[in-house]
């Protein structure tokens, strides 16, 4: 029997869950400012480069590994913006600053790739992550994060992207060159070949200043059959000129391409070449070669900007010039064939025009030579036959002269 007033002891069942400690209250602002607890904890549990930003005081703390990597000897003062603004690459700063602002205002993740200037003096790619801690009023107190070296991975990704772009560019270049070769086979005049060459070259190279000339070895000069230029001086200079002048003359004489990345006038002065036309800051010219014979020159240039063209552009223009040279030769042969056909047709008409009176004269002579006609008026008949014979001889002489090849 239980005694009255005695307290009864209650024992919890063995299967009951043990009591949990009450949840810890959020850290007070004073505790965060003095202890750097999050920073110390992160360094103890992580092998990565750890950083901590006291956003109230504006002080930035680094782990020893980061300090060694970036060459830091003391705590930095950062009041706002990107915590790495002292070291971040200028091209990455605005993007990094926008990312951290979005994290502070909207709570979006702070994960950013940026280049930091290391102690070696070179920029290295890092993945920067962090998390802000706010107080109960929503004011950011501090931020702790990690720094991961991703330079090798980033470089590999950039190399793959570059290879992909180069592959795409190569495919485009091959398509243009194939189209040029195919289209040029249908261009039967020199003017058509020149225009098609310019059109296709403009798809691959800067051709705002483009010129194409044809070389005449007998006259030792070359004539510019196309001259698209921004320069008023070049509009007058690049018409017809001796083949020993200017850089284009050097290309013709040496049968070699010329690539000038900076200031063509210095290049000319160094080789003692007499300049022609306006000074170009970037200049590229290639010969139109066919069986080691120079047919002309293709030129592209820029009067306002250096390093517009490089070795790849030179090789591209050489390939284009090779196709153009074959087409030009075919156009010349076609033109010569047309000229020969026209000349032959004219000769035929001339010979026909001479043969008709000859045939008429011979028929007249035959009639005059009939028996009885000569006896009745012998002297007059003989004179008429002599006149007609003389005309026949003259026409035969003209026919023979017409059949002579031109000098």
Q: Is 2 part of a structural domain of the chain? A: no
39-61 pLDDT per residue, tens: 555 555 454 588 888 888 888 88
Same domain, 139 and 186: no
180 burial class (0-12, 13-18, 19+ CB within 10 angstroms)?
Answer: buried
- Pick from 301, 335, 369: which residue ends a domain? 335
For residue 246, give the CATH number of its domain.
3.30.450.40
Q: Is 167 part of a structural domain of the chain? A: no
Q: Is 14 part of a structural domain of the chain? A: no
What is d(CA 42, CA 128) in angstroms, rounded to the nearest whole number? Answer: 15
Using the predicted structure, report yes or no on whether residue 246 has a pLDDT greater than 90.
yes
Highest mean pLDDT among 111-115, 280-284, 359-363: 280-284
What value does the mean pLDDT take over residues 25-52? 53
Domain count, the chain: 3
Same domain, 362 and 324: no
Q: Which domain holds residue 357?
A: 345-403
253-275 pLDDT per residue, tens: 999 999 999 989 899 999 999 88
367-385 pLDDT per residue, tens: 776 666 555 566 776 777 7
Q: Specify the pLDDT at position 402.
A: 72
User: Where does the pLDDT of residue 396 fall: very low under 50, low under 70, confident under 90, or very high at 90 and above?
Assistant: confident
Same domain, 261 and 350: no
Q: Are 104 and 140 in contact (CB under 8 A)?
A: yes
Q: Is 172 part of a structural domain of the chain? A: no
Q: Specify the pLDDT at position 280.
A: 93
Same domain, 302 and 393: no
Same domain, 239 and 377: no
What is d(CA 351, CA 331) in angstroms, rounded to the nearest whole number? Answer: 30
Q: Can you give the pTM of this predicted structure?
A: 0.52
Using the predicted structure, report yes or no on whether residue 79 has a pLDDT greater than 80.
no
Same domain, 97 and 195: no
Q: Are 145 and 50 in contact (CB under 8 A)?
A: yes
What is d(CA 243, CA 218) in angstroms, rounded to the nearest whole number? Answer: 11
Bridge partners of 88, per DSSP, are 116
Q: Is 267 part of a structural domain of the chain? A: yes
Q: Is 13 part of a structural domain of the chain? A: no
152-182 pLDDT per residue, tens: 888 887 877 777 666 667 778 788 888 888 8
Q: Specify the pLDDT at position 31.
A: 42
- Pick from 290, 309, 335: which residue ends a domain? 335
Same domain, 319 and 377: no
Same domain, 125 and 48: yes
């Amino acid at each position: 029997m239980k005694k009255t007033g005695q307290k009864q002891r209650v024992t919890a069942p063995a299967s009951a869950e043990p009591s949990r400690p009450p949840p810890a209250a959020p850290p007070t602002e004073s505790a965060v400012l003095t202890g750097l607890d999050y920073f110390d904890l992160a360094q103890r549990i992580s092998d990565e480069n750890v950083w901590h930003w006291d956003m109230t005081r504006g002080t930035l703390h680094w782990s020893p590994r980061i300090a060694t990597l970036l060459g830091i000897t003391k705590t930095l003062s950062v009041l706002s913006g990107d915590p790495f603004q002292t070291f971040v690459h200028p091209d990455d700063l605005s993007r990094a600053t926008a990312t951290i602002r979005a994290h502070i205002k909207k709570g979006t993740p702070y994960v950013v790739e940026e280049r930091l200037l290391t102690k070696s003096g070179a920029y290295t790619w890092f993945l920067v992550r962090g998390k802000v801690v706010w107080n109960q009023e929503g004011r950011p107190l501090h931020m702790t994060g990690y720094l991961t070296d991703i330079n090798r991975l980033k470089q590999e990704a950039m190399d793959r992207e570059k290879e992909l772009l180069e592959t795409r560019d190569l495919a485009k270049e091959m398509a243009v060159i194939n189209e040029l070769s195919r289209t040029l086979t249908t261009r039967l005049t020199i003017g058509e070949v020149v225009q098609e060459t310019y059109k296709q070259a403009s798809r691959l190279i800067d051709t705002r200043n483009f010129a194409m000339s044809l070389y005449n070895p007998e006259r030792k000069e070359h004539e510019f059959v196309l001259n698209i230029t921004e320069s008023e001086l070049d509009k007058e200079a690049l018409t017809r000129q001796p083949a020993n002048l200017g850089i284009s003359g050097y290309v013709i004489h040496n049968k070699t391409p010329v690539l000038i990345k900076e200031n063509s006038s210095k290049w000319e002065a160094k080789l003692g070449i007499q300049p022609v036309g306006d000074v170009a800051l970037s200049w590229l010219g290639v010969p139109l070669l066919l069986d080691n014979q120079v047919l002309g020159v293709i030129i592209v240039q820029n009067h306002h900007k250096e390093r517009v063209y490089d070795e790849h552009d030179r090789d591209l223009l050489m390939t284009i010039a090779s196709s153009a040279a074959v087409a030009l030769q075919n156009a010349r042969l076609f033109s010569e064939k047309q000229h020969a056909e026209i000349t032959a047709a004219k000769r035929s008409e001339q010979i026909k025009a001479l043969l008709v009176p000859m045939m008429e004269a011979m028929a007249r002579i035959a009639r005059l030579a009939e028996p009885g006609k000569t006896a009745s008026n012998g002297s007059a008949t003989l004179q008429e036959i002599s006149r007609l014979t003389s005309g026949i001889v003259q026409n035969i002489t003209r026919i023979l002269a017409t059949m002579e090849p031109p000098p």
